[in-house]
């Protein structure tokens, strides 16, 4: 049986392939890798789930770096994706491309099946055939589903997802384990907890709350605001991923098949939480935004939505013990940085010109380091 190529963290410049590189987390991860001296191959289909101009703005910043190469393509297109991985032969792959959003999955389940299931399977196949030394897979805290025991520990069962999005992420973990077992591809699955920060997704709470407060429109607070989230600052997350990609998953010699622990395996497969271990009530988040924006919020109380959970809270003991990873950014500091970015990015005098400048800048950098996967679905 073939085994993955060793992941060499000592070479002067390694190539790491990042799927979803124009996305919120993908952009920050790619930038962090570039800053530390890696070469990055980014893949993204630049879909219209939210305003593509924000994706183009992130991409333009990445393309300004000489060690970044971009390919516009869809992970649902198996053969072009496999050819891309074979051509670049990256030391590792960080798989962040996904269809996100809990509520969107209620109306568009087919998109989640194609991107999060078929797309992830295609990434796994590409990594298998190219003998990739380490695959890092973005999972989600949503896999804990109906579990109400907090903090959420990776040793907890995660068999009762409450949304289609969560189900596809859990399925991705299971697919990943099977590839680690059958083909010895080292795979690390990371369960992200409510990531926020500059260049964030417009459908996330912090973004929508900020926009509503500045516009003087009501903030929808579900479950009458009686909810809390383990908010994770994106730079803490990207720092952690950059460290984790250097540590390929190994088989756990203490794993017991008669009493199997879900976070490790006899295969080179591991699962970790990436959060802050500091759950924040949504009403406190609103209060922080009011202070940093200097404006009061109008609150609209609404019932709990299908697929939502009342609270998330990451248990980071295993993550910290095994990886030495611990976040440092407080929610107050993170919200301040986000508000500072939001105001700078959406200045009324500059916002009308920004999309045109972004397109021009991306075009200027698109000569030798940007391409399109053949037959890509965009």
Q: Which residues are catalytic?
A: 165
| One-character DSSP codes across 99-151 | ---TTHHHH-HHHHIIIIIIIHHHHHHHHHHHT-S-EEEEEEGGGGTT---SS
* Residue 364 dihedral angles phi and psi, to the nearest 5°: -65, -30
Q: How far is CA 274 from CA 90, 155, 162, 293, 371, in A?
A: 24, 14, 20, 28, 32
Exposed / middle / buried, residue 214 (Cβ in 10 Å: 0-12, 13-18, 19+): middle
Q: Coil, strand, or helix at residue 223?
A: helix
Whose tokens are 């429109």? That residue is 217
Report H helices in the chain: 24-35, 52-63, 78-88, 104-107, 109-112, 120-130, 164-183, 205-215, 234-244, 282-293, 317-323, 331-345, 348-351, 354-364
Q: Is 202 helix (H, G, I), strand (E, B) or coil?
A: coil
Rounded Cα gap, residues 20 and 99, in angstroms: 10
Q: What DSSP designation does 18 have?
A: E
Q: Can you give the length of the chain in residues?
A: 378
Cα 191 from Cα 277, distance rounded (Å): 13
d(CA 227, CA 155): 24
Cβ atoms of residues 126 and 85 within 8 Å: yes
Residues 133 and 4: beta-carbon distance below 8 Å: yes
Kind plus residue range of the DSSP H or E element containing 15 = strand 15-19
Report the Cα 194 to chain-centroid distance in Å.
Answer: 10
């Amino acid at each position: 049986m073939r085994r993955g190529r060793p992941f060499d963290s000592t070479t002067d410049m390694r190539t790491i392939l990042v799927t979803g590189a124009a996305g919120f987390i993908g952009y920050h991860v790619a930038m962090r890798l570039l800053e530390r001296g890696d070469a990055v191959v980014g893949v993204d289909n630049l879909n219209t789930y939210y305003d593509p101009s924000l994706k183009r703005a992130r991409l333009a910043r990445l393309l300004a770096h000489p060690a970044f190469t971009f390919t516009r393509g869809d992970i649902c297109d198996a053969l072009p994706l496999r050819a891309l991985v074979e051509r670049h032969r990256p030391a590792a792959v960080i798989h962040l491309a996904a269809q996100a959003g809990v509520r969107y999955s209620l109306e568009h389940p087919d998109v989640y099946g194609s991107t999060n299931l078929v797309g992830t399977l295609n990434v796994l196949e590409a990594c298998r055939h190219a003998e990739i030394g380490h695959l890092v897979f973005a999972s989600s805290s949503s896999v804990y589903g109906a579990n109400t025991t907090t903090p959420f520990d990776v040793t907890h069962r995660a068999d009762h997802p409450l949304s289609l999005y969560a189900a596809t992420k859990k399925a991705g973990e299971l697919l990943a384990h099977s590839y680690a077992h059958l083909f010895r591809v080292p795979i690390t699955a990371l369960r992200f907890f409510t990531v926020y920060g500059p260049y964030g997704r417009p459908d996330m709470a912090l973004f929508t709350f900020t926009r509503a407060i500045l516009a003087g429109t009501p903030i929808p607070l579900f479950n009458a605001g009686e909810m809390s989230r383990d908010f994770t600052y994106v730079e803490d997350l990207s720092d952690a991923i950059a460290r984790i990609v250097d540590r390929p998953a190994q088989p756990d010699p203490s794993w017991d098949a008669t009493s199997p622990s879900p976070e490790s395996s006899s295969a080179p497969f591991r699962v970790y939480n990436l959060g802050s271990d500091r759950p924040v009530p949504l009403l406190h988040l609103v209060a922080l935004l009011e202070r940093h924006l200097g404006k009061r919020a109008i609150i609209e109380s609404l019932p709990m939505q299908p697929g939502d959970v009342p609270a998330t809270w990451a248990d980071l003991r295993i993550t910290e013990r095994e990886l030495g990873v611990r976040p440092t950014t407080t929610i107050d500091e993170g919200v301040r940085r986000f508000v500072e970015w939001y105001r700078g990015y959406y200045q009324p005098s500059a916002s009308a010109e920004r999309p045109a400048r972004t397109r021009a800048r991306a075009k200027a950098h698109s000569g030798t380091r940007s391409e399109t996967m053949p037959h890509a679905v965009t």
